[in-house]
Amino acid sequence: MLDPRCFHPSLATVEVAWQRSRYEVPPACRGLGVSGTAFVFGAVLAILAWVPQAPLVPVAPSSRMAVTFELAPMAAAPPAPPVEVAPGPRQQEREAASVSRSVTPQQQRVLTPVPSELPAAAAVSAEEASSPTRRVDQTTAPPVIANQASTAAAHVNSASNAQAALANWESELLGHLKRFLRYPRPSQSAREEGIAQVTITVDRQGHVLGARIARGSGYPMLDSEAAAMTRRGSPVPPPTADIPGDPVMVTIPILFSLRH
């Protein structure tokens, strides 16, 4: 049976040996407080258990799997040994520029020209401008160079004249030797044709001193006839004064053809 004072704490009276309080909960009501607290806590748990919770939605695993790759660090190439190269034009220019920058202002002041020499140079240039003879001497070529140029021109003219004279003399030789040409009969029967190059030696009077085959025709009989023809035709027209040499050697072609 509960004490009525448990529901009215103001009516409860606690008697203590040294002090009594009218507001103290009586001992009979203390058990009710503990049981009431337990009852309230159990009710709260029941309410929490009764409230429906949202079902957990299973998360589908991603169809794509993230794959990471780690690359091993590349081995660093050993540094190339320094190569000593001979200083080039750019390096020399840079060195010269650095040397020029290192010149102190005192050295630059020392290297400045003396102003007193400028009037003298101006006076000399004025004298050169006032003397026309000196200017003419400088513009004209020295006599030695002029003589050398004239001599070279004379040599060129003489060489060209000699070549023209030699060409004319060769044509005269061919016209003269054609009259002594004999076509060997065996060569005619064998239908042998060709050109024999014959080098002949002629003195200043036109006598044939010798003859040799410089380039054969391919047939020995025709080559022999070409050399014999030059000896039969001696004397030949003598070389002119424009052709140098004594004796004179000239190579002429001898044509053997059955069509003529």
Q: What is the pLDDT of residues 24-56, one digit of tens each?
A: 555 555 555 555 566 666 776 777 666 555 455
- Percent of the chain past pLDDT 90, that is, above it, reads 32
pLDDT the model gives residue 260: 62
The answer to whether residue 103 scores a pLDDT higher than 70 is: no
- Mean pLDDT of the region 203-212: 94
Other Cβ atoms less than 10 A from the Cβ of 218: the count is: 12
Give residue limits of the domains in the chain: 4-45, 160-256
Q: What is the pLDDT of residues 66-92, one digit of tens each?
A: 434 344 444 555 555 555 545 555 555
Res 104: pLDDT: 46
Predicted pLDDT of residue 42 = 73
Residue 160 has pLDDT above 50, yes or no: yes
Separation of alpha carbons 78 and 162, rounded Å? 76
Whole-number Å distance between alpha carbons of 33 and 186? 166
CB under 8 A, 24+ apart: contacts of 22-27: none
Q: Output the pLDDT for position 162.
A: 80
d(CA 94, CA 91): 5
Q: Higher confidence at residue 76 or residue 234?
A: 234
pLDDT of residue 180: 93
Q: How confident is the model at residue 204 (pLDDT cuts 50, 70, 90)?
A: very high
Neighbouring C-beta atoms of residue 87, cutoff 10 Å? 11
pLDDT at position 53 is 55
Q: How far apart (Å, rounded) are the C-alpha atoms in residues 254 and 229?
A: 9
Q: Identify the pLDDT of residue 55.
A: 53
CATH number of 160-256: 3.30.1150.10
Mean pLDDT, the chain, integer = 67
CA angle 249, 254, 260 (to 5 degrees): 155
